[in-house]
Structure 1
Amino acid sequence: MDQLFVNTDAATLSPVALFLQADFVVKAVMIGLLLASIWTWAIIFAVSRKLKRVRKAGDSFERDFWKAEDIDAFHRMHGDSELPAAKVFVAGVAEWRRSTKGSTIDREGTRQRLGTAMGAAVAGEVDKLSERLNVLATIGSVAPFVGLFGTVWGIMRAFTAIAAEQNSSLAVVAPGIAEALFATAIGLFAAIPAVIAYNRFSHGIDRIEARLNRFADGFHSTLSHELEAA
């Protein structure tokens, strides 16, 4: 009989049982946190693949660019690319053509406009790469507090059960306390991967931004030499 009683208690404290016996408020918290966790992992996989593709394709693009002897021909071949480096390149070429189409060329003004155009392109591409990181940041910062709300609510429910039963034994208190702590655990389960992924992706995007700036500086230098020869 004692062994049967222990097994029954263990079954009632399983994750599924804790969810089923929770009231609607704690259930809503748990479901919301589980959905946030699923959303987090979907973003992690999507952003991870995207950054990997951008880094790999960017390496190939820059190698081909620095080997190219004709910028106009290279522009015709790669001008429609969606790569961040290609967007910076296209912005530079477009500003170059606008600034040098007249009979007289303002060399210093052209240099400044080239730097501004490519700098804006770099900022725009970084914004595109970072657009989903705010979701990870929000989940990472909010999920623990949502879980804590479920914990507080569950503990309040446990004390209500104690008052109703007029019994403070573990059998009365344990289910409410367990479901309360389970809500906190789910909140941490959603928050921890989100925080880790946010920090890792932020570092990766910073590296891509630095590389785009180096590419823009190199292209700017190339066009400056063209200005001197013009």
Structure 2
Amino acid sequence: MTDTPAALREAHHADVSGGWLRPAVFGAMDGLVTNIALIAGVGGGGVSPRNIVLTGAAGLVAGAISMGLGEYTSVRSANEQVAAEVAKERRELERHPEAEARELADAWVRRGLPRDLAVQVADAVRANPEEALRMHVREELGVDLDDQPSPWAAAISSFLCFSVGALVPLLTYLLGFTSLWLALGVGGVGLFAAGAIVARFTYRGWWSSGLRQLLLGGLAAAATYFIGTLIGVSGIG
């Protein structure tokens, strides 16, 4: 039989392992929101354009490094935790192979497989220790040993995307413009665009995804602008 076009399309799924997409999206959004909020806060406080650029540049560098290190540490720690659990499962398979095979068969029975067939398959899997380990880890931990995220991919994608996102609201100042509202407007366009791009991977409507991100970033900017205005007017600092 020849696969239909619909079947062929369904066979090509997106990468959902979290290797690079999640930290990239998180980095870009965080970079945009962080620097838009920083610029709104210090701009609302009445500082000079030069100080706004300094604040934004410092936020870009500090935030990008923090995001990269945080993602690397987070993913590596998660992988190390998985490795420890896999080692524990390997020991259990070596010490109690029959009990582990029954446990695997029981899991399949709970999913609706006939017990005789489940026991037969579990016994067959037990004959291959590495495959048995993969099956037990997948059933008990929900982890695919062949599809673990890379801490380096997470760190680099987060670092780069945060930097790009944080640069957007600074662009107008770097080009010689001094209007706070122009910078915030460009940042708002960046937020909407980022949300619309994310919709490409999540299959949400690009319009609603863009508006959602614009609204969330706008709320953050409004809060910091209000605080900056309040502190500037009160003369603190």
Shorter chain as denominator, the TM-score bin is 0.3 to 0.5
The structure with more radius of gyration: 1
Normalised by the size of structure 2, how large is the TM-score? 0.37
- Report which structure shows greater RCO (CA 8 Å, sep ≥6): 2
Larger helix percent: 1
Give the TM-score normalised by the residue count of structure 1: 0.38
